[in-house]
Chain A
Amino acid sequence: MTISTGIRVAALDDVAEGEGIAISKAITGTADNIAILRDEDGSVWALDDTCTHETASLADGWVEDGHVECPLHSSKFCLKSGEVQGLPATKNTCPHRVELRDSDIWLFPNETP
């Protein structure tokens, strides 16, 4: 686990509750793009963007009740831990730490939340 410096990736208002945005790996320096996901309670989380089942962007998925549902085949992942919670995916995805500063979202790639 490498400790990275934080990156300001978006304003909080850029991400609607229940939705997500994808941050390019060119910005995050990670192997995969990172999905910034905002739960319906307003909390913000980050996971590797590509579903572990097939190629799909979790940032396009549905975010609710502490999980994100893949828009293609409905696999579910825990927002906090990246743990897979529903088939057809069987592998966990990787979580990343985010922090809210004022009204901005800061991402710390590869740091455990």
Chain B
Amino acid sequence: MTSTKEPIAGRGTCPGEACGNVPSGRATPAPGGALRRPAELQRNIDVSGLVDEKGGLLDRAVFTDEQLYRQELRRVFAPSWLFLAHADQFHKPGDFFTTHMGEDPVIVTMTKNREIKAYLNSCRHRGARVCRADFGQTRNFTCTYHGWAYDLDGALVSVPNEGGYPESFRRDDWGLVEVPHVESYHGLIFGTWNPDPVSLRESLGDMAWYLDAMLDHDPEGTVAFGGVHKWVLEGNWKLAAEQFATDWYHVNMSHASALMVLSPTGRGPKDEIIHREGRQYVDPNGHGAGFPVHPKNRFDADTVHEWMDYAALRSRLGDARVEGPLTTGHATVFPNFSYLPVNGSIRVWHPKGPNRMEVWAWTIVDRSMPEEVREAQRLYNLRTFGPSGIFEQDDGENWSECQAIAHGFITNGVALNYQMGLGSEREDGRYPGTTSELYSDAAGRSFYARWRTLMNTPAWHEEQP
């Protein structure tokens, strides 16, 4: 599959009032009959007072409160573009990958028409998952509970003892619930439950310029190399997403031991590594990216560094990107997709309740890289930011530490400080959009401002039919 900015799946339709509030694809009018969900099940909290982005303050309840968490699933995750998979995971019809959108399990697959589609991984009969594998190749998705079976287009194609249902039963009414919009950007596939979203490209805004520094080294694009690492961390998902958006500040302290180990002399990194200048991109939709800026910025893994044609990269991407977000740095696409360009790590922070997340991490490499360069990048990523990586371990420990104590009554009421770089946001003429200093909380403030906006905005599924 070549990289594309165009939609890669048709727009789902929602035929008439029968679809109620459930997102539905072509095959799924989702009969609700007399069911009416009482509003008391979905009480919403006004979160205006929990985020003070002008003062740089955050209330710790955003990390701990169960009711806020349920509201996040409804109002932050359900309407947002969420990362699903890399296009390279699908080569033939029937190739599938199972993941989550928020806490909703979904199947991503290639149909017989070679479209990428995504479905809620839940049988319409009793609700079990219809695909239990992490990834693979299939002809159908068959529920192992009673045997309802769905084809690659999500249509219900087999119901054992179908004669036992009333005459009004129509298979067409009971297809898998389809994710209504699936689009890709340079090989990254995203989906949203929002029936009427802005396009993925539009939602990325200027963030796309920064993403391209990792995804668009040459016309061949990227591939996912090796498997998907998955691990569980104690900690709210926002702690990780926020850090990847806005936090270079922790590097020298949290990762001191790793930096010592990696320094060629063994006496620690040079002063110019410790005291870095750089920029932080602050996106109005809550995305963020920070990166040191230096003419000699390079890829860390020697084999990768030696293979890279920096002159060609300067010609394709421009000096500002090669000297900035091409290599060392961090980034988050709101809400829960993050990446590290220097080692090709892309990851999703899957929410698992207010206190826990699952990290799912891929290594992506340039398709044009020879095998030994790919392998060098994979190993470098594994060593630094794999599940037991020397940097990753530091980060996970911090998030779990912050979460573990945050439920204390007094603790929870003590505001957190996000004031670094207050007022520093500006257009610098070199890096697109609004940027701040490398050491700044600006993208974090913007992340939580976006979170507050979504939390206070009724989503499409709350509209009365």
Q: Which residues of A are interface residues toward B (Cβ below 8 A)?
A: 53-56, 60-61, 71-74, 88
Contact = CB atoms under 8 A, between A and B. Distances in A.
A interface SS class: loop
B160 A88 contact: yes
Contacts of B147: 54, 72-73, 88
Contact of A55 (B139, B140, B142, B158): B158
Interface residues of B, number: 8
B170 to A, nearest CB: 16
B157 interface: yes
Contacts of B149: 56, 72-73
A53 B147 CA distance: 11
Interface of B: 139-140, 142, 147, 149, 157-158, 160
A54 B163 CA distance: 12
A61 B139 CA distance: 8
Given A55-B158, A88-B147, A60 B139 contact: yes
A16 to B, nearest CB: 12
Contacts of A71: 139-140
A99 to B, nearest CB: 28
What 10 pairs across the A-B complex have the smallest Cβ distances? A71-B139, A72-B149, A72-B158, A54-B158, A73-B147, A60-B139, A71-B140, A72-B140, A72-B142, A54-B160
14 contacts: A54-B158, A54-B160, A55-B158, A56-B149, A56-B158, A71-B139, A72-B142, A72-B149, A72-B157, A72-B158, A73-B147, A73-B160, A88-B147, A88-B160
A62 to B, nearest CB: 8
Nearest to B157: A72
B158 A73 contact: yes
Nearest to A54: B158
Contacts of B142: 72-74
A73 B142 CA distance: 7
A42 B59 CA distance: 66
Nearest to A62: B139
B150 to A, nearest CB: 10
A112 B171 CA distance: 38
Nearest to B138: A71
Given A54-B158, A56-B149, A73-B142, 13 more contacts: A54-B160, A60-B139, A71-B139, A72-B140, A72-B142, A72-B147, A72-B157, A72-B158, A73-B147, A73-B149, A73-B160, A88-B147, A88-B160
A38 B108 CA distance: 29
